[in-house]
Amino acid sequence: MKGTAGSDQAPSSTVEAVDPAAPSSPGLSTQQEVSAEIEAIAGGYSAGSTRQPRLDYPPYRSSVLRHPTRDLEPTDPEGVELWAPVFGERDVDPSEADLTLGHEGEPIGERMVVTGRVLDGDGRPVRRQLVEIWQANAAGRYRHRLDQHPAPLDPAFTGTGRCLTDDDGGYRFTTIRPGPYPWRNHANAWRPAHIHFSVFGTELTQRLVTQMYFPGDPLIPLDPISQSVLEPEALARLVATYDHDLTQPEWATGYRWDIVLDGTHRTPLESDREG
C-alpha cells in the first residue's frame, strides 16, 4: 500500500506509510487503550463541574504538551474585551454560504443544508455577526496540504464557507455532508464526521471555535476530541438534529444546530435589546 493515514501531526513531522492490514502501528496506542483512558476520565467526572472540554485530556495525544497546567486567571473583561469585532456585508459575499458553488460541476456527496441560530447566554440572538465553517469532503478528505488520507479530493469542493447571521441570529449553509477520516492519534483512529464552526458574539469573551457532529455517528464515543467534553448534555449539544422539515424535496437533507455563546458582561445596548 502506498497510502498514508490522515495525519494530525505537526507539519514538520514525517508521516510514515501505514499498512492498514498490519495488526498494529508501532508506538501508537490501540483504540481499546484509548477508550479505556476515555472511560477512566469520564468515570472520575462529577456532574456539573464543567461544560467545556477538558484542556488537559491525554487521550487526545496532541493536547499533552499544549494545555496550560495552571488555572486560568479569573479576570473581569476590560476595554476591547467587552466588544467584538464588527463584520459586515463588505466582508462576506452571500455566495460564500453555499459551499457547493464556485467550481465547475457539482460536488460529490450528500447535499445538505445546515442551519440554526447563534444566541448569547441569555438567549438573545447574535445579529449580523460572522460565522465561518470548514470541513472535509464527502470522502473524508480536506483540501489541505497536510491531509494525506488516501481518499479523493473533489475538484468541485473546497470545504469552506462564511456567512453573517440575520436579525434573528440565524445562519444557513448549503454544503456536502463530510465523511469521517482517519488520523494518527492512535492506531485505527477515526474522527467522526464533523463541520468546524468559528463564531463571534457581541463581546470578545464569547469567541467560540467548535465542531458540529452528526446524530447517531458510531465514531463519537471512540473519539477523544469530542469526548473531551465530559458533561454528557454538553457533548449532546455538539450534535446536530436531523430536521425533515428542512429537507428539500429532490435536493438536500436538512440539519439544525443552534450555538449558544457565553453570557455577556457589558450592559446590553438598546440595539441589543430589540425584539
Among 19, 26, 76, 270, binds another protein (CB under 8 A): 76
179 and 137 Cβ atoms separated by less than 8 Å: yes
Shortest spacing between CB 61 and another protein, in angstroms: 8
Q: Round to whole Å and give the CA distance between 189 and 214.
A: 18
Nearer to another protein, 22 or 146 (CB): 146
Among 14, 26, 32, 70, binds another protein (CB under 8 A): 70
95 contacts another protein (rule: CB under 8 A): no
Beta bridge partner(s), residue 252: 248
Q: Is 226 exposed, middle or buried (0-12, 13-18, 19+ CB in 10 A)?
A: buried
Among 68, 105, 249, 275, binds another protein (CB under 8 A): 68
Q: Is 45 a catalytic residue?
A: no
Shortest spacing between CB 189 and another protein, in angstroms: 13
Query: Cα 194 from chain centroid?
Result: 6
Shortest spacing between CB 261 and another protein, in angstroms: 6
Q: Is 13 exposed, middle or buried (0-12, 13-18, 19+ CB in 10 A)?
A: exposed
Q: Is 67 a catalytic residue?
A: no
Among 26, 27, 43, 74, binds another protein (CB under 8 A): 74
DSSP 63: G
Shortest spacing between CB 228 and another protein, in angstroms: 5
Nearer to another protein, 147 or 247 (CB): 147
Q: Which amino acid is at 245?
A: D
275 contacts another protein (rule: CB under 8 A): no
Among 27, 69, 267, 273, binds another protein (CB under 8 A): 69
Residues 162-221 that bind another protein (CB under 8 A): 162, 196, 198, 204-205, 207-211
Is the backbone of residue 236 left (phi > 0), alpha (psi -120 to 50) or beta? Answer: alpha
Among 225, 239, 240, 252, binds another protein (CB under 8 A): 225
As a whole number of Å, the CA-based R_g of the chain is 20
153 contacts another protein (rule: CB under 8 A): no
Shortest spacing between CB 195 and another protein, in angstroms: 11
Q: Is 181 a catalytic residue?
A: yes
Q: In 3D, which of 257, 244, 146, 120 has the Cα closest to residue 195?
A: 257
Q: Which three cell numbers stand for residue 45?
A: 467526572
51 and 235 Cβ atoms separated by less than 8 Å: no
219 and 188 Cβ atoms separated by less than 8 Å: no
Among 4, 30, 31, 160, binds another protein (CB under 8 A): 160
Active site residues: 142, 181, 191, 194, 196
